Amino acid sequence: MKKCYLKKGKDRSVLRGHPWVFSGALKAEVEKAGEWMELCDHQGTSLGLGFTENGSIAFKSIGSAFPSPEQAIVTRLQEAHTLRKDQGLVDRKDLDIYRLFFAEGDGLPGLIIDSYGAHAVVQIHSRAYLEHLELITEQLVLLGYRAVYLRQRSSLRDEKLEDGYLMGKREEEVFLENGIPFHVDWEQGQKTGFFIDQRDNRQLVRKLASGKNVLNLFSYTGGFSSYALKGGARSVVSLDSSQAAVEMACRNAELLDAAQKHTGLTEDAFDYLKKMPEGFDLVVLDPPAFVKSPRSRHRAVQAYKRINAWAMKAMPSSSTLLTFSCSQHLGRELFASTVRAAAIESGREVRLLQHLQQSVDHPSRMEHPEGEYLKGLLLQLK
């Protein structure tokens, strides 16, 4: 196996367990992305295995516990399945949807696997896994999956690559999350077809929605909307810029026999918020990641501030706002400060009731705080 070397004094974060090595820490530039290598300090002492990447993060480590990437994949997949089983997510009659493997949080950066009943949807973010797809499929079969679908074209940004089934075919059309049915399109939808990280927060909306007029902005396929309908909402509006996503949200409402309470709107959320009608007493703001890099942080903070201030100004007294950011480069403290600034700008009295985060099947390692990407606030407006 090839070796790559760190500059002197650049091994501290690796020794602490952080999986990322930035390009400035390596002695030589990366020649090819997706190569498995042994990472060494400046004296040649081994620090474990990993793979190269193009960009500012030039190397991603899987640690020193494994003699080969094959052994790491087998062991880490088994450990991840055990963790989900221990957390009560496996073999439940009311739950077909959960994340089986979460990249750095489960010990293999760049590998995502979502579970939809008997289907496993694999999304790879590094070419390093291309040579191990057969092994990954074999391990998923051992865990009981009958179909394995690969998403790689968009995540690897390579139009020459094809997505498709590594094994089996689609067997089911509707899947349950906490007993609520959903259509999921893992072939054409965003990510793997469903935003699984919001499961616990959707359950919170279900508890809060009774008798409420609910607005779900950046709704995608209506996850929060279906939970609100199931919780007894008076009315629900799902708004997204994607017509296909809104149509899916409407289909999901139909699964609950609640189409008469649900309205789907295809519109830009920023435009809608500027003229947002009054009367929504439960609002969910779950936008896409505005911060794509540290350089765009200031502009993104202003965007988060605007949408929250606009929503607060239009919401009635005693209403509830759940607001989120999934931007990895926007920390929890900065997000809370941004929403606080929005509250001040709105002129409303706003109370913070609860901090929100990603579901338990999206674990983050303590030495890798970047993995704790989803942050949210439950707010009450007086």
Q: Which residue has the higher pLDDT, 94 or 292?
A: 94
pTM (two decimals)? 0.95
**Residue 243 has what pLDDT?**
97
**Residue 173 has what pLDDT?**
93
**Hey, where are the domains in the chain?**
2-63, 69-172, 193-381
Q: What is the pLDDT of residues 99-127, one digit of tens each?
A: 999 999 999 999 999 999 999 999 999 99
> What is the SS3 string spanning 243-271?
HHHHHHHHHHHHHCCCHHHEEEEECCHHH
Query: What percentage of the chain has pLDDT greater than the value 90?
Result: 94
The yes/no answer on whether domain 69-172 falls in CATH 3.40.720.10 is: no
Question: Phi-psi bin for 44: left (phi > 0), alpha (psi -120 to 50), beta?
Answer: left
**Residue 298 has what pLDDT?**
85
CB 218 within 8 A of CB 240: yes
How buried is residue 289: exposed, middle or buried, by Cβ count under 10 Å (0-12/13-18/19+)? middle
Instruction: Write the CA distances from 238 to 181, 287, 297, integer angstroms.
Output: 17, 13, 28
CATH topology assigned to domain 193-381: Rossmann fold (3.40.50)
**Residue 300 has what pLDDT?**
87
Average pLDDT of 46-73?
Answer: 96
CA 322 – CA 337 distance, rounded (Å): 15
- One DSSP character per residue, 151-189 reads E-TTTTT-TTS--EEEES----SEEEETTEEEE--TTTS
* CATH superfamily entry for domain 2-63: PUA domain (2.30.130.10)
- The chain-wide mean pLDDT, for the chain, equals 96
- Per DSSP, 33 falls in state T
